Amino acid sequence: MASIRKVKGGVCAPKQFRANSVSAGIKDPASKRLDLTLLISDTPCIASGTFTKNKVQAAPVRLSKKHIKNGDVQAILANSGNANACTGEVGMKDAIDSCSIIADELGLKTSQIAVCSTGVIGLPMPMMRIEPKLKLLSKKLSPKNGLDVAKAIMTSDTRHKESALSISCGKEKFKIGICAKGAGMIDPKMATMLCFITTDANIGKKLLDKTLKDTVELSFNRITIDGDMSTNDTVIALANGTSMKKEMQEGSATHKSFKEALGRLLLEMAKSLVKDGERVTKFVTINVTGAKSSKDAQKAAEAVANSSLVKCSWNGNDPNWGRIIHAIGYSGAFIHENRISISIAGIKACEKGLQSNFAMDRLRDKVSQDEFDIDIDLGINDGEYTVYSSDLSPEYVDFNRSEYAYWKQAKKDGLT
Amino acid sequence: MASIRKVKGGVCAPKQFRANSVSAGIKDPASKRLDLTLLISDTPCIASGTFTKNKVQAAPVRLSKKHIKNGDVQAILANSGNANACTGEVGMKDAIDSCSIIADELGLKTSQIAVCSTGVIGLPMPMMRIEPKLKLLSKKLSPKNGLDVAKAIMTSDTRHKESALSISCGKEKFKIGICAKGAGMIDPKMATMLCFITTDANIGKKLLDKTLKDTVELSFNRITIDGDMSTNDTVIALANGTSMKKEMQEGSATHKSFKEALGRLLLEMAKSLVKDGERVTKFVTINVTGAKSSKDAQKAAEAVANSSLVKCSWNGNDPNWGRIIHAIGYSGAFIHENRISISIAGIKACEKGLQSNFAMDRLRDKVSQDEFDIDIDLGINDGEYTVYSSDLSPEYVDFNRSEYAYWKQAKKDGLT
């Protein structure tokens, strides 16, 4: 039996990882908040990544995909405030230049640096403010700076998200660190926003790729905030192997404990993203069972998770099973209306397509809480799927009405 | 050349149509607003209909589909305030009983009555208030009551929607009347909410079915308000043929003018539905051209039309082409990012995937108006599609937070 326990240090918890973050005023020159960060392993790494399935992909996504493919990425450079998306050749040049400045400073190849950006789409990067800071970044790298990586990648997040686990399995002992950012433009059809994973476990490229894909599928690919898939979603894992002499083998006890710990961390981050979604007040877990297939269960769960009207009702503490069943009806899943049962917060609200006899006041109290589950049984077969979703608030709409401030700054910067 | 002109009278404009509407207090016993209506043709009709594609279908939808299939429906009974959806055998019995009471009063068969309901899902119909009014309905039928049909089917609509055209084509002269209701739970994957069409043109069942399907495809199936497909969407057309001796033939000048007039009326209603969508402040036409196929153009147009973030930006008068291209990216349409051009309100905002050099202040003025177009050229082939959409406002979310008042009334009524 492996023992898995929480440790401090975030992405710098595993051995040989160091980081540094600075303020470059990317979004707002007057702001002092951290918005540029560098995370490195002092020793060579196996690297793996999953990226947005959006066909419009930011320059850093396209570049990092290429670098990760080689598998020897050893550092991640990331910024918030500008997504470097829809910026054409200029954007790609900015991404490459940034990697190559960092590579020079660290004595690495440009292809060993991954780069990630998050923020507004369509405006060039303010390189006049970023470039002078890039050289500074590598000067004060420290294993104590894990927390600041999580802070520097925040956009509309209100809380930074990071975690780390220490795993003991037989004679092997290793750590995994993680940080992520989310908030808006979050939908489960792909990876996520930004998430960085570090580990000192010894794992090969192929197994890391597979393990990351499997665990992302059960975490970030199961969440939705607003149904909008980003152009910049990126998960990158760096494994420097410094805690283990021998490479772990697929299916071994060590690999099982690695996968369990990674899965736990990813799910923790994914749930944190939903809970800290833009102006979100509720965290709702939608469990669909009894579907014809897991694909059908997914269709039903995602339709409910993304229905504007269902999300509005959650915001209003309204246990509205009628809107839930209407979304199941148009989801494309195979259903018989008279076999569907729906429980809300553990109380059966709909039985075989009809309203059940429940205590409305008690149910309203339950859905007034910050978190509850919706259990939907389609009553057909054994297909299952779970999605983590949020409500839709008037404040979300208000918050997302305009990005004009970005344009005004870009104008001042002579970038538009 | 046919001459087509506006006339008054709505669904009672064509010959031999009469209507009556009453207040049955379906949603709220204290309310005096019209919520129950009967529209009949004094002479036999050819009937046609299109219905929601949602697999959860209200009892009146299932019953009316069956009645319409026979083709001799001659009257429409409709109510607002309760959708009679997810109400099982009781709901079906209520729908059948209502039709048969009306049939008895009118001396028709039960199968000659179509029935439509719109309102809350999952609560039984308050038949104790509806039944006594059903007999009253047929007493005061008048050709002057067309307007009240449009009023009685309103739910969260703020305006009633009705129209009528008189068509002269060669020696033939006939009229078409229409009314519709919309407001929320509106998405283009199917028919619409409720829409009734009357005509005294002489048209066969097969041709009416085809013409209705074609014109609904270009009108109601092209609109979206909140991306939520209803359980009750219904369009019914009744043609009593009293203005023409001979049945019109497909492709004849008369049929062409009939189709043109019907298409015009349906588009007028569809656009009215979007403009009067729940707490909508903007009417936005999204034209996609240059797609690989019309199916691909549809995917791109619908993704933009339903993106929460795009709709928020419209609410904020923000000409945010970055969010538009990000939605195109995840739409599933075949694209090359660097071939996409986007014009907003006639001003080129994005050229070949990059920001163009436009006057921001002028563009912001344009998108501050109530209506504007988004023209998206994917630059691939000649596939085209148009969708009519609206913004998403904080007030929409607020409006849809709770339907608790319905439950409280149902409780009082002993129905739950």
Residues of A in contact with B402 (CB under 8 A): 313, 316-318, 320
Are A326 and B57 in contact by the 8 Å Cβ rule? The answer is no
Residue A191: the pLDDT is 36
Tokens of B118: 């719109």
Q: Which of residues 152-211 of A touch B (CB under 8 A)?
A: 184-185, 187, 189-190
Burial of A173 (0-12, 13-18, 19+ CB in 10 A): middle
Structure tokens at B218: 């270009």
Q: How many CB atoms sit inside 10 A of residue B173's CB?
A: 15
CB contact under 8 A, B308 and A312: no
Q: A347-351 and A354-355 as β-strands: parallel, antiparallel, unpaired?
A: antiparallel
Burial of B379 (0-12, 13-18, 19+ CB in 10 A): middle
Count of pairs with CB atoms under 8 A, one residue in A, one in B: 214
Asked if B326 and A230 come within 8 Å (Cβ–Cβ), the reply is yes
Q: Which run of H or E residues covers position B64?
A: helix B59-70
Query: What is the pLDDT of chain A when averaged over all its residues?
Result: 89
Would you state the pLDDT for residue A190?
39
Q: Which two tokens stand for residue B219?
A: 């009108």
- The interface residues of chain A toward chain B in range 19-48, judged by CB-CB distance below 8 A, are none
Contact B308 A402 (CB under 8 A): no
Listed residue (A71, A171, A184, A180) closest to A121, CA to CA: A184
ipTM: 0.78
In our burial notation (b when 16+ CB lie closer than 10 A, e otherwise), range B149-158 reads bbbbbbbbbe
How does DSSP classify residue A181?
E
What mean pLDDT do residues A204-218 have?
Answer: 91
Q: Helix (H, G, I), strand (E, B), or coil: what is residue A100?
A: helix
Kindly give the confidence (pLDDT) of every residue in chain B, 416 residues in length, as a single tens digit, with 9 standing for 90 and above.
689 999 999 999 999 999 999 999 998 899 999 999 999 999 999 999 888 877 788 899 999 999 999 888 999 999 998 989 888 899 999 999 999 999 999 999 999 999 999 888 888 999 999 999 999 999 999 999 999 999 999 887 888 989 999 999 989 999 999 988 877 656 644 334 788 899 999 999 999 999 998 988 888 887 776 666 667 778 888 899 999 999 999 999 999 999 999 999 988 888 888 888 778 899 999 999 999 999 999 999 999 998 888 999 999 999 989 889 988 988 889 999 899 999 999 999 999 988 898 888 889 999 999 999 999 999 999 999 998 999 999 988 888 888 788 777 878 888 87
- Provide the percentage of residues in chain A whose pLDDT is more than 90: 61
Stretch A22-48: mean pLDDT, rounded? 94
**How long, in residues, is chain A?**
416
For residue A322, list chain B residues with Cβ-Cβ distance below 8 A: 85-86, 120-123, 403
**Quick one: pLDDT at residue B186?**
61
A231 is catalytic: no
Could you give the dihedral angle defined by the CA atoms of residues A143, A145, A147 and A149, in that order, rounded to the nearest 10 degrees?
Answer: -110
Choosing among A320, A367, A380, A392, which should be mutated to test the B contact, i.e. which has the most B CBs within 10 A?
Answer: A320
A322 within 8 A of B58, measured Cβ to Cβ = no
Is B337's CB within 8 Å of A403's CB? no
Which residue is associated with the tokens 């995994």?
A176
Catalytic residue among A192, A198, A199, A234: A192
Its pTM stands at: 0.81
Contact B402 A86 (CB under 8 A): no
The pLDDT assigned to A188 comes to 46
Q: What single-letter DSSP state applies at residue A11? A: G
Name the residue in chain A with its Cα closest to that of B54.
Answer: A330
Looking only at Cα atoms, what is the longest distance across chain A? 69
Reduced 3-state DSSP string for chain B: CCEEEECCCHHHCCCCEEEEEECCCCCCCCCCCCCEEEEEECCCCEEEEEECCCCCCCHHHHHHHHHHHHCCCCEEEEEEEECCCCCHHHHHHHHHHHHHHHHHHHCCCHHHEEEEEEEECCCCCCHHHHHHHHHHHCCCCECCCHHHHHHHCCCCCCCCEEEEEEEEECCEEEEEEEEEECCCCCCCCCCCCEEEEEECCCCCHHHHHHHHHHHHHCCHHHECCCCCCCCCCEEEEEECCCCCCCCCCCCCHHHHHHHHHHHHHHHHHHHHHHHCCCCCCCEEEEEEEEECCHHHHHHHHHHHHHCHHHHHHHHCCCCCHHHHHHHHHHCCCCCCHHHCEEEECCEEEEECCEECCCCHHHHHHHHCCCEEEEEEECCCCCEEEEEEEECCCHHHHHHCCCCHHHHHHHHHCCCC
The model's pLDDT over A286-308, given as tens digits with 9 standing for 90+, comes to 999 999 999 999 999 999 998 88
